Amino acid sequence: MIFAPLGITQVNLVLLSLIAKIISFQIPHSSFLIPHLTFNMFNLLIILFTILTPQEVERRTAIDFNKHLSDLMPYIQKYYPEVDSTQIAQWEESKALEYRIINGEKWYFRRAADNLFRIDPEARALKTRLEGKERAGRDTVVMNHIRAVLAEHNDSPKQKLFVRQEWDFDFKLYFTPQSGLRDGELIKVWLPLPKTEQARQTDISITYHNRNVELNTGTHSTAYMEGNYSTHNTTMFNIIYEFATYAEYNPLPHCFKHKKTDPNNAELKQYLVERAPHCLFTDKIKALADSIVGKENRPYYQARKLFAAIRELYPWAGACEYSIIDNIPEYVIENRHGDCGQVSLLYIAMCRYLGIPARWQSGFMLHPGYDNLHDWCEIYIEGMGWIPVDPSFGVQSWGKTDAERYFYFGGMDAYRLIINTDWGAELEPKKQFERSEPVDFQRGECETEKENLYFDKWKYKFTVNLKN
């Protein structure tokens, strides 16, 4: 079963019947009703109001898995000129070459060819030998920035924030005249907006918007607009804002007393519990976490071990849409790879299972030449408070010191725009139909009075400018 937020007005007699059956335990446990889950009304409501129809799941899956093997072969043969069916079958078996069976036919993920050389160790090594390490430019930016942060920290060891940077951010969401909507049809749009009340992000101001805008700074921070679709011209929704960011660094204090978090702490208990469908303490999650931490029982070092292991075990690869994945952390484990949001959810689930409070953060990474959507998280360590962690950036191999190598465990660079402080929350104003992205919020969301408008109906782009 797949989940994506639905408006409450869509609950019909079928769902009401499902509620009654679940409450009376007249249906068998599924992937979200499992014996080890402490099931409560909160989980029930999340599930019931996040169900996608099977037809919509199939449609979204077909959009993501739209390649035949013949489409992949030119790219694969650049590196494996003599590749044969046996090798292809081996990659499929190892999940390095991702596919789905749709209507009895094998269809490959739209990024399967590129991902193969990220997921399979041999293929990755071959490509690196021939072309060099990918993202070397970003590594240089990160290295120089981290060293600047650490230098400022050495000068002012009692501070947490360093290296102020000032930005302009121009976000556009638009519909072409060929989008298939009716001329004059009302479109409701939610655009990403910088989060307020974040220490690393200040001086936020809107400098331009091309339509009336309603600002909502909830869990998902949004700029809401409405406009009428045109079959003659591009229908544009545009907002520009400026803000300042800081890097953060939190080293382990000297003579630190390691303490576990009280699971009954009123302010932290919500960050310790399971939450269907993407944060469950399944057998696979527990086994993986236990195998990584071993006999280590200090929360700080448990979390650090998880951080170091994730990037090593699960290399970054382009991800299919989250809305077609039942349980994202288990997907990562089973498929041996994950993008930034997927490994962040895996990290959060393992931390919470071990009794370490963990929560989501996401928005954009702004590194010059490598700006993109990005997800990370925060964990709570007794005696330190909340500290940032970026599992997908992981241990920095170029680092010469422990502080450099483990910077993204307790530290965060200034190249971040924070939009969200949790996953899968309600948008403001409330959306009436299912979300295109039920977990994260960066690309925006759209709907008409009649239906959700999925990603295939519109486009987005953003331009970021570092001013200092």
351/289 same-domain check: yes
336/459 same-domain check: no
Is residue 1 scored above 80 in pLDDT?
no
108/165 same-domain check: no
- The tokens of 84 are what? 């044969």
255/363 same-domain check: yes
Range of the domain at 77: 61-131
Looking at the 3D structure of the chain, how many domains does it have?
3
Least confident segment among 27-36, 66-75, 132-141, 412-421: 27-36
Is residue 34 scored above 60 in pLDDT?
no
Distances (CA, A) of 73 to 63, 68, 101, 116, 379: 20, 9, 19, 12, 43
Is residue 176 scored above 70 in pLDDT?
yes
Contact between 323 and 64 (Cβ < 8 Å): no
Residue 290 counted as domain residue: yes
Residue 201 counted as domain residue: yes
Residues contacting residue 47 through CB under 8 Å, at least 6 positions apart: 3, 32, 276, 277
Distance between CA atoms of 86 and 345, rounded to whole angstroms? 34
Residue 48 counted as domain residue: no
**Among residues 446, 378, 381, which one has the least CA distance to residue 416?**
378
344/373 same-domain check: yes
Is residue 282 scored above 50 in pLDDT?
yes
Q: Which CATH number do you get for residue 258?
A: 3.10.620.30
Q: For residues 152-167, give the mean pLDDT.
A: 97
Least confident segment among 2-11, 252-261, 334-343: 2-11
Distance between CA atoms of 86 and 379, rounded to whole angstroms? 44
**According to the 3-state scheme, what is the secondary structure of the chain?**
CCECCCCHHHCCHHHHHHHHHHHCCCCCCCCCCCCCCCCCHHHHHHHHCCECCHHHHHHHHHHHCCECHHHHHHHHHHHCCCCCHHHHHHHHHCCCCCEEEECCEEEECCCHHHHHHHHCHHHHHHHHHHHCCCCHHHHHHHHHHHHHHHHHHHHCCCCCEEEEEEEEEEEEEEECCCCCCCCCCEEEEEEECCCCCECCEEEEEEEEECCCCEEEECCEEEEEEEEECCCCCCEEEEEEEEEEEEEEECCCCCCCCCCCCCCCCCCCHHHCCCECCCECCCHHHHHHHHHHHCCCCCHHHHHHHHHHHHHHHCCCCCCCCHHHCCCHHHHHHHHCCCCHHHHHHHHHHHHHHCCCCEEEEEEEECCCCCCEEEEEEEEEECCCEEEEECCCCCCCCCCCCHHHHCCCECEECCCEEEEECCCCCCCCCCCCCCCCCCCCCCCCEEECCCCECCHHHCEEEEEEEECC
176/255 same-domain check: no
Residue 56 counted as domain residue: no
Is residue 26 scored above 60 in pLDDT?
no
Is residue 46 scored above 60 in pLDDT?
no
Confidence of residue 27 (pLDDT cuts 50, 70, 90): very low
183/287 same-domain check: no
For residue 265, the model assigns a pLDDT of 97
Distance between CA atoms of 150 and 414, rounded to whole angstroms? 13
Q: For residues 453-459, give the mean pLDDT.
A: 98
* 93-145 tens-digit pLDDT: 999 999 999 999 999 999 999 999 999 999 999 999 999 876 678 889 999 99
* 52-83 tens-digit pLDDT: 899 999 999 999 999 999 999 999 999 999 99
303/391 same-domain check: yes
Confidence of residue 50 (pLDDT cuts 50, 70, 90): low
Residue 17 counted as domain residue: no
77/171 same-domain check: no
For residue 246, the model assigns a pLDDT of 98
The owner of tokens 């007005």 is 9
Residue 8 counted as domain residue: no
Distance between CA atoms of 304 and 391, rounded to whole angstroms? 10
Q: For residues 394-414, give the mean pLDDT.
A: 97
Q: For residues 25-43, give the mean pLDDT.
A: 40
Is residue 171 scored above 80 in pLDDT?
yes
> Which amino acid type is present at position 426?
E
For residue 51, the model assigns a pLDDT of 72
* 303-332 tens-digit pLDDT: 999 999 999 999 999 999 999 999 999 999
Q: What is the mean pLDDT of the chain?
A: 91
Residues contacting residue 360 through CB under 8 Å, at least 6 positions apart: 344, 345, 348, 375, 377, 420, 421, 422, 423
Beta bridge partners of 466: 167
153/301 same-domain check: no
Report pTM: 0.90
84/228 same-domain check: no
Residue 400 counted as domain residue: yes
Confidence of residue 4 (pLDDT cuts 50, 70, 90): very low
pLDDT > 90 fraction of the chain, expressed in percent and rounded: 87
* 228-266 tens-digit pLDDT: 999 999 999 999 999 999 999 999 999 999 999 999 999
Q: Is 341 left (phi over 0), alpha (psi -120 to 50) or beta?
A: alpha
Confidence of residue 35 (pLDDT cuts 50, 70, 90): very low
Q: For residues 347-374, give the mean pLDDT.
A: 97
Is residue 207 scored above 60 in pLDDT?
yes
205/309 same-domain check: no
How many of the other CB atoms lie within 10 Å of CB of 369? 8
Beta bridge partners of 101: 106
Contact between 231 and 176 (Cβ < 8 Å): no
Q: For residues 196-222, give the mean pLDDT.
A: 97
Q: For residues 30-58, give the mean pLDDT.
A: 57
Q: Which CATH number do you get for residue 239?
A: 2.60.40
Residue 375 counted as domain residue: yes
